[in-house]
Chain A
Amino acid sequence: MENLTKETIDKGLEVLDTLNDGKLLTHLNSCVHCGLCADSCTYYLANPEAKFIPATKVDLVASIYRKYNTFGGKAFSKIVGARTLNEDTTNEMVDLLFGACTMCARCVSHCSIGVDITYVIKKGREMLSNMGMVPETLQSTIDSALETGNNMSIPETDFVETLEWLEEDLQYEVDDDNAKIYLDQKGKDILYTLNPREPKFFPLSISAMAKVFYVTGESWTISTKMYDVTNYAYYSGNYNEAAIITQRLYDEAENLDAKKIVLAECGHGSRAFRWEGPNYIKKEYPFDVTTSVELLASYLKEGKVKVDPNKIPDKVTLHDPCNLARSGGIWHEQRYILNKCVSDFVEMTPHGIDNLCCGGGGGQLAMSEYNDRRMAIGEIKAEQIRATGAKIVATPCHNCVDQLTQLNVTFKLGIKIMTLGEIVADAIVMETKD
């Protein structure tokens, strides 16, 4: 890392200016260094070193805050453990805040005080982003989204071609030549988004949702210009870029006059757009936003989709994406869906809002330089899955699907990984034509 200029350091420190942020002021001053959050973090569990304790990551940011913003830190820096923002601390921050945290927030609810550890880590990432120190691998994913409209740089023609053959596939499956994947249609009830991993690697998850929409007779469309639900700038801490990405989807919903945006099965994407997005762009959405998990559960509750659980006889377990469950409050819906659609559903231990991260969150899948750590923490998830004896792992998140797929190969789990849309689609009982 080249020498840090005063200007760069000042840009980092700007983030810690707590002048009008009571939440930041609070969480920067609350940790008592009891260390009791250690066992809640998979990084520490996989590698019990002090640097992986969540509080160590908090203290990296808080110690710098103390140095520049508190009387104690200025007058007695050694005593209160106040640190200067310099090359050493910056290197450490990059390594631990980017490279050793999936931002799963599991440590937060287990903290003895109630420190929002993830919030502080996000602030640390924001500091690094202001200083131009986001890992290149993560930044390149964001750049792709900014430059091409989707984080995998899929050309529009390829995307449209994929959807066209998926439409043919759908027509064959439901035996109806009028079954459609609607593209860029104005005035539909639903603008359905996708994780670009779907058209690129998992197109069947698109057909699955298309089949569900067909069965329910839903009024829906996909935008060929702006369909990407992800927002990796949420992970990099660059909130100007996060705002640009949010605004684009917002504009497309307005442009297509959609009543509701349905967020595809993507944990961080749904969090970034639903919960963080309005704060990035500093305005409320004029349209409704929901997740496909909630939508699928509502279809089943309302009887719009008929399913037969016997169509999925294998033992199924569920992996809760951290951003959807722990930080998004959605964990009953996926259980409702599975209880309806599969005949043998078992929970992992722990599960729900206490579930363990798969290891793919926090932008880890994009940052290949931390692959070893990612797989090491993933082993804990792999063993959790193995203990259930399940043959299928359902998860409503394409990032998690990706990580679980890698865990499946590395740790020889012999499982099949499915999204909830795929599960529902497989369990559907089609009405017979007269």
Chain B
Amino acid sequence: MNWYQLLAIVSASICLISCFIHGAKIINYGKPKDYSKKRGDTEKSVRYSYTGAMSPMKKESAYLHLPTYIAGISYHIGTFLSLFLFVIYLIGIYPTGIVALVISVLLLISGLSGFGILIKRISKDQLRSLSNPDDYISNLLVSLIQIMTALVLYLPQAFPYYFILISIFFLYLPVGKLKHVVYFFAARYHLGFFYGWRGVWPPK
């Protein structure tokens, strides 16, 4: 194993432990205690929160902004694909032929989506005013990783740079907004619980 692979493994471990600590804290604090008389079904509502309520037809943030929504979905799929490929590369499996081509095209699309979102953030006054350096760094880092993940399939000599980049990503993730990978699930849970308690969700 090369030093850069080792670096990536250490960074990924630090990242996983940090995410675990974030998650453990949330779970440890437990369910919200509510003294009011429950009117709905919190279990169904939490399920709805992760499913029906996420439908693009239900959210203005999706159906009023379809290009951004589609870019966002593609970008997130690319991120998870990149993380999967990171593990594959570590094991020593390097897809070739048509599989490599399909992966590369997907990652190119998702990476470009990421850059598209970044350009939107830079070019729109209001989004710029809402953003802090973390927003740009996170976006740039993840987009670059997707492109690099595809690139190394055709340019194996770039592997050291790929592993260094992904190590930076792993170390940065728990510090900035990328940790929403954990908090997203907690937010959906809490929202589902809240609306379920009062009988707002799932809508009848």
B175–A116 touching, CB < 8 Å: no
- Considering the chains assembled together, what is the distance between the CA atoms of A327 and B36 in angstroms? 14
- Write out the residue numbers on chain A whose beta carbons fall within 8 Å of the beta carbon of B65: 36
B187–A53 touching, CB < 8 Å: no
A340 to chain B, nearest CB (A): 19
B81 to chain A, nearest CB (A): 20
Contact flag A114-B175 (CB < 8 Å), given A32-B180, A33-B135, A55-B130: no
> Which of A78-86, A166-174, A362-370, A414-422 lies at the interface with chain B?
A78-86
> A275 — nearest CB in chain B belongs to which residue?
B36
A38 near B: Cβ within 8 Å?
yes
CB<8 Å pairs between A and B, sample of 26: A23-B194, A26-B186, A26-B187, A26-B189, A27-B187, A29-B179, A33-B132, A34-B61, A35-B127, A36-B65, A39-B60, A40-B60, A40-B61, A50-B126, A53-B126, A109-B191, A111-B59, A114-B184, A114-B187, A278-B35, A278-B37, A279-B33, A279-B34, A279-B35, A283-B35, A285-B37
A50–B125 touching, CB < 8 Å: yes
Closest 4 CB pairs of A and B: A81-B132, A22-B29, A36-B61, A278-B35
B134–A329 touching, CB < 8 Å: no
For residues 112 through 135 of chain B, which have their beta carbon under 8 Å from a beta carbon of chain A?
124-127, 129-135
For residues 22 through 79 of chain B, which have their beta carbon under 8 Å from a beta carbon of chain A?
22, 25-30, 32-37, 39-40, 49, 53, 58-62, 64-65, 68-69, 72
A279–B36 touching, CB < 8 Å: yes
A201 near B: Cβ within 8 Å?
no
- Considering the chains assembled together, what is the distance between the CA atoms of A26 and B28 in angstroms? 12
Contact among A80, A110, A279 for B60, CB-based, below 8 A: A110
- Write out the residue numbers on chain A whose beta carbons fall within 8 Å of the beta carbon of B204: 332
A114–B200 touching, CB < 8 Å: no
Apart from A23-B190, A113-B180: 5 A-B pairs, beta carbons within 8 A: A29-B179, A38-B126, A80-B176, A114-B190, A116-B191
B188 to chain A, nearest CB (A): 5
A80–B134 touching, CB < 8 Å: yes
B130–A25 touching, CB < 8 Å: no
Contact flag A30-B132 (CB < 8 Å), given A22-B32, A112-B59, A329-B200: no
- Considering the chains assembled together, what is the distance between the CA atoms of A430 and B58 in angstroms? 44
- Considering the chains assembled together, what is the distance between the CA atoms of A36 and B63 in angstroms? 10
- Considering the chains assembled together, what is the distance between the CA atoms of A156 and B27 in angstroms? 50
A277 near B: Cβ within 8 Å?
yes
Query: CB-defined interface of B170-181 with A at 8 Å, one 1/0 digit per residue?
Result: 000001110110
For residues 151 through 204 of chain B, which have their beta carbon under 8 Å from a beta carbon of chain A?
175-177, 179-180, 183-184, 186-191, 194-195, 198-200, 203-204
A432 near B: Cβ within 8 Å?
no
A29–B200 touching, CB < 8 Å: no
Query: CB-defined interface of A7-30 with B at 8 Å, one 1/0 digit per residue?
Result: 000000000000011110111011
B137 near A: Cβ within 8 Å?
yes
Q: A residues engaging B (CB < 8 A)? A: 20-23, 25-27, 29-40, 48-51, 53, 55-56, 59, 63, 71-72, 75-76, 78-81, 108-116, 119, 274-279, 281-285, 289, 326-329, 332, 353
Max chain A C-beta neighbours (<10 A), residue from B36, B39, B204: B36
- Considering the chains assembled together, what is the distance between the CA atoms of A104 and B34 in angstroms? 21
Query: CB-defined interface of B6-35 with A at 8 Å, one 1/0 digit per residue?
Result: 000000000000000010011111101111
Contact among A30, A63, A278, A329 for B184, CB-based, below 8 A: A30
- Write out the residue numbers on chain A whose beta carbons fall within 8 Å of the beta carbon of B34: 278-279
- Write out the residue numbers on chain B whose beta carbons fall within 8 Å of the beta carbon of A278: 34-37
B188–A114 touching, CB < 8 Å: yes
- Write out the residue numbers on chain A whose beta carbons fall within 8 Å of the beta carbon of B188: 113-114
> A281 — nearest CB in chain B belongs to which residue?
B35
Max chain B C-beta neighbours (<10 A), residue from A21, A22, A332: A22
- Write out the residue numbers on chain A whose beta carbons fall within 8 Å of the beta carbon of B58: 109
A401 to chain B, nearest CB (A): 23
Contact among B59, B133, B177, B198 for A32, CB-based, below 8 A: B177
Contact among B49, B62, B187, B195 for A115, CB-based, below 8 A: B187
- Considering the chains assembled together, what is the distance between the CA atoms of A41 and B190 in angstroms? 22
> B58 — nearest CB in chain A belongs to which residue?
A109
A228 to chain B, nearest CB (A): 19
A329–B40 touching, CB < 8 Å: yes
- Considering the chains assembled together, what is the distance between the CA atoms of A278 and B38 in angstroms? 12
Contact flag A329-B39 (CB < 8 Å), given A21-B29, A71-B175, A72-B175: yes
A113–B187 touching, CB < 8 Å: yes
B118 to chain A, nearest CB (A): 12
- Considering the chains assembled together, what is the distance between the CA atoms of A49 and B126 in angstroms? 7
A30–B186 touching, CB < 8 Å: yes
- Considering the chains assembled together, what is the distance between the CA atoms of A51 and B189 in angstroms? 28
A25–B59 touching, CB < 8 Å: no
Contact flag A22-B186 (CB < 8 Å), given A329-B198, A353-B203: yes
A79–B133 touching, CB < 8 Å: yes
B176–A289 touching, CB < 8 Å: no
- Write out the residue numbers on chain B whose beta carbons fall within 8 Å of the beta carbon of A56: 129-130
Contact among A23, A108, A284 for B37, CB-based, below 8 A: A284
- Considering the chains assembled together, what is the distance between the CA atoms of A32 and B178 in angstroms? 8
B61–A274 touching, CB < 8 Å: no
> A21 — nearest CB in chain B belongs to which residue?
B29
A72–B176 touching, CB < 8 Å: yes
